[in-house]
């Protein structure tokens, strides 16, 4: 295979790595791999961005190679590089890729992740590790216990850095970076470079160089993006029809909550689909077993939440967003599960009529061209099922045995051939997994945003800020130097300690669907928006995008959770937490939660929140 215009000769790779890549069948370097072998990047801290499936892990291995070779020549013993990933699955995937890449070089790669035996990891580390790949919490545990000696570390990689910040791992990442030598190289890999990531880069990288295999935000041309407008009550019916169109294709279905994922997978299994769910509360052995079944084709439909889907390295033909993503970055991560390594894929978004403008905005912000199409009807699904049946019969190479021929002859003696075939096709299971559903036909044409519409009214702010709005997730936690915001005139009057919420703010809170919660932790005991956000994400197993406004009080604080996650969140936080046994989180029943203007006070810059009085500090 000749290199394309986006590829370079494999001869540019380091000799030992080239040997490993040739053994795996590589004939050229991808665009992002070509970028890191450029002599101009030598010795630089890197910000690597590229499409999922474009060879970023191999690019990381190439970038770390020079440091590993230099320390080998100096005779240094101990780990020389750390790679941090947000999930156990992704860490295992990176460890597997780097292991075969470094095998000819003799470098040993060890994985350390939560949910596995600490003693087993300790034995692996003692046998010798040149590169350690792990999740943030477990990596920090090893560094604090001294089982990983940081003195020889010359490079640290934060893989999927944006996801780690969304999951509330900021404190762990900063703890790791403070324990390794200051003269290390620090590389960031991220599908999206938000202000959070830029702030992290400014604090911990030196003279960072942006390396883009594909332009940041550039759409993957191998993915067809499709939007279906549906009646809200027919989501599951539409999903059934979509799956029946190609039941043998590996399909990843995204839902918002773990409970919905388990319920939906169970319903699909009862209908005859080979379906399973992947959620964040599964035991590691169950997660591994489910992913292996999906990888080998025993499971065709995997229903997953955003967090649980991180690290899936299986070829996926379709991604179906049964629940819409919360923002463009989430859409990019979800759709990036398909269309990998040059293969074609589909990303199908299902939205109700009132979600058209939000879908339009997400597509525009994600920089993808989507096709608005009608949902496959019952007749269209049946046509596809019949076509597959005819094709499979015509393509069958197995010849019938004598018994089958004799039985066919007996049947033809008493039945008309057409009647016989019709009877066979009418038998249960002979014409498909289950019957297709009748679908209400809705106009799929997107509506232009109106200046007075719920989402259109915020488009001006969206364009200026280039970030998701408040209800799409929290703003970055790092310091900002871009001056005060100016979102235009507001007519909600002066702020005071009187009515807790102005009319416009009350309507916005109701529209965006947030539920207030109370936590018995305030600034008197060291709470600030950044630390509270991390605790909330950890205790409730939610993403940062699910957390709304945060108000820090003196002895207690109030925060919001997206209504779609509120019930599941309440159940999760009701369980005792051994790390913080005295901290209680409960719904704020019967109270009105103020949704203040965006403010960037002292607490955003790392200073102490205001003390005294009942007026809470605000994170917006």
Write the pLDDT tens digit of every residue in 180-212: 999 999 999 877 777 788 888 888 998 888 887
pLDDT at residue 611 in the model = 33
CA dihedral 491, 495, 499, 500 (to 10 degrees): 100
CB of 92 within 8 A of CB of 8? no
Which pLDDT belongs to residue 130? 93
| pLDDT band at residue 464 using 50, 70 and 90 as cut-offs | very low
pLDDT of residue 553: 81
Are the beta carbons of 303 and 278 closer than 8 angstroms?
Answer: yes
Confidence of residue 173 (pLDDT cuts 50, 70, 90): very high
Let me know whether 592 and 532 are in one domain. Answer: yes
> Quick check: 615 pLDDT over 70?
no
- Residue 77's pLDDT band (boundaries 50, 70, 90)? confident
Average pLDDT score over residue span 563-568: 86
Tell me, yes or no, whether 23 lies in a domain.
yes
Q: State the Cα angle at 158 between 155 and 164, rounded to 5°.
A: 155
pLDDT at 507 over 80: no
* Residue 442 is assigned to a structural domain of this protein: no
Specify if 217 maps to a domain.
no
Structural domains in the chain (count): 4
Question: Is the same domain home to 548 and 477?
Answer: yes
Asked whether residue 439 carries a pLDDT value surpassing 60, the answer given is yes
Max mean pLDDT range (68-82, 388-402, 490-504, 597-611):
68-82
pLDDT in tens, 530-550: 889 988 988 988 888 888 888
- By percentage, how much of the chain surpasses pLDDT 70? 76
Q: What is the DSSP letter of 159?
A: T
Query: Looking at the structure, do residues 230 and 157 belong to the same domain, yes or no?
Result: no
**Do 18 and 76 belong together in one domain?**
yes
pLDDT for the residue numbered 215:
53
> In terms of domains, do 411 and 550 share one?
no
34 pLDDT above the threshold of 80: yes
pLDDT tens track for 208-264: 888 876 554 454 567 899 999 998 888 999 999 999 998 889 999 999 888 888 889
Residue 451 lies in a domain: no
Same domain membership, residue 56 and residue 203: yes
The confidence band for 485, taking pLDDT boundaries of 50, 70 and 90, is very low
For residue range 87-133, list pLDDT tens digits in order.
Answer: 888 898 899 999 999 999 999 999 999 878 888 999 999 988 999 99
pLDDT per position as a tens digit, 553-562: 877 899 999 8
Q: Where are the alpha helices (DSSP H) in 513-579?
A: 529-540, 563-573
In a domain, 392, yes or no: yes
Residue 398 belongs to what domain range?
Answer: 379-426
The answer on 164 and 37 residing in a single domain is yes
Spatial CB neighbours of 565, under 8 Å, sequence gap ≥ 6 = 256, 257, 540, 542, 546
What is residue 8's predicted lDDT score, i.e. its pLDDT?
64
CATH code at position 87: 3.40.50.300
How high is the pLDDT of residue 581?
Answer: 77
Residues 76 and 46 in one domain: yes
Same domain for 247 and 205: no
User: What is the rounded average pLDDT for all residues in the chain?
Assistant: 77
Q: Does residue 190 share a domain with residue 54?
A: yes
> Same structural domain for residues 74 and 96?
yes
pLDDT at 458: 32
pLDDT at 368: 87
């Amino acid at each position: 295979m000749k290199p394309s215009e986006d590829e370079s000769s494999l001869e540019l790779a380091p000799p030992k790595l080239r040997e490993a890549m040739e053994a795996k069948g590589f004939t050229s370097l991808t665009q992002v791999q070509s970028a890191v072998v450029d002599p101009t990047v030598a010795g630089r801290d890197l910000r690597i961005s590229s499409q999922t499936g474009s060879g970023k892990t191999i690019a990381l291995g190439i970038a770390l190679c020079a440091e590993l070779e230099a320390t080998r020549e100096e005779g240094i013993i101990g780990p020389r590089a750390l790679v941090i990933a947000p999930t156990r699955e992704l860490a295992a995937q990176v460890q597997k890729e780097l292991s075969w890449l470094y095998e000819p070089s003799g470098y040993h790669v060890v994985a350390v992740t939560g949910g596995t035996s600490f003693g087993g990891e300790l034995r692996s580390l003692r046998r010798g590790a040149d590169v350690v790949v792990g999740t943030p919490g477990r990596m920090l545990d090893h560094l604090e216990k001294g089982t990983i000696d940081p003195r020889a570390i010359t490079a640290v990689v934060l893989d999927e850095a944006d996801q780690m910040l969304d999951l509330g791992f900021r404190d762990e990442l900063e703890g790791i970076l403070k324990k390794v030598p200051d003269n290390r190289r620090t590389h960031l890999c991220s599908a999206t470079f938000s202000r959070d990531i830029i702030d992290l880069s400014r604090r911990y990288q030196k003279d960072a160089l942006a390396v883009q295999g594909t332009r940041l935000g550039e759409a993957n041309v191998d993915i067809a993006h499709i939007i279906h407008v549906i009646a809200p009550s027919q989501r599951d019916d539409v999903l059934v029809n979509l799956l029946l169109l190609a039941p043998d294709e590996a399909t990843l279905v995204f839902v918002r909550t773990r409970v919905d994922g388990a319920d939906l997978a169970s319903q699909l299994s009862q209908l005859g689909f080979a379906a399973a769910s992947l959620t964040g509360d599964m035991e590691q052995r169950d997660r591994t077993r489910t992913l292996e079944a999906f990888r080998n084709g025993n499971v065709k439909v995997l229903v997953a939440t955003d967090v649980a889907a991180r690290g899936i390295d299986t070829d996926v033909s379709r991604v179906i967003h049964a629940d819409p993503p919360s923002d463009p970055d989430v859409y990019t991560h979800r759709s990036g599960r398909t269309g990998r390594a040059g293969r074609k894929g589909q990303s199908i978004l299902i939205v109700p009529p009132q979600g058209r403008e939000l879908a339009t905005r997400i597509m525009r912000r994600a920089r993808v061209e989507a096709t608005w199409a009608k949902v496959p009807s019952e007749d269209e699904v049946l046509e596809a099922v019949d076509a597959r049946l005819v094709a499979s019969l015509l393509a069958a190479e197995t010849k019938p045995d004598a018994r089958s021929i004799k039985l066919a002859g007996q049947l033809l003696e008493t039945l008309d051939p057409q009647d016989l075939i019709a009877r066979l096709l009418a038998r249960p299971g002979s014409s498909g997994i289950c019957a297709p559903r009748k679908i209400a036909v809705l106009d799929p044409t997107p509506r232009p945003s109106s200046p007075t519409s719920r989402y259109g009214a915020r488009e001006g702010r969206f364009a200026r800020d280039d970030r998701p709005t408040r209800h799409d997730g929290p703003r970055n936690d790092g310091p900002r130097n871009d001056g005060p915001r100016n979102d235009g005139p507001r007519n909600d009057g002066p702020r005071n300690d009187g009515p807790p919420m102005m009319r416009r703010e009350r309507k916005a809170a109701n529209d965006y669907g947030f539920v207030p919660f109370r936590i018995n932790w305030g600034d008197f005991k060291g709470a600030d928006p950044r630390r509270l956000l991390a605790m909330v994400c950890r205790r409730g197993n939610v993403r940062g995008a699910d957390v709304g406004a945060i108000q820090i009080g003196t002895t207690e604080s109030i925060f919001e959770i997206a209504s779609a996650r509120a019930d599941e969140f309440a159940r999760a936080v009701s369980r005792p937490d051994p790390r913080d046994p005295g901290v209680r989180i409960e719904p704020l029943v019967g109270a009105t939660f103020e949704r203040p203007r965006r403010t960037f006070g002292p607490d955003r810059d790392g200073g102490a929140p205001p003390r005294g009085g009942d007026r809470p500090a605000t994170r917006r």
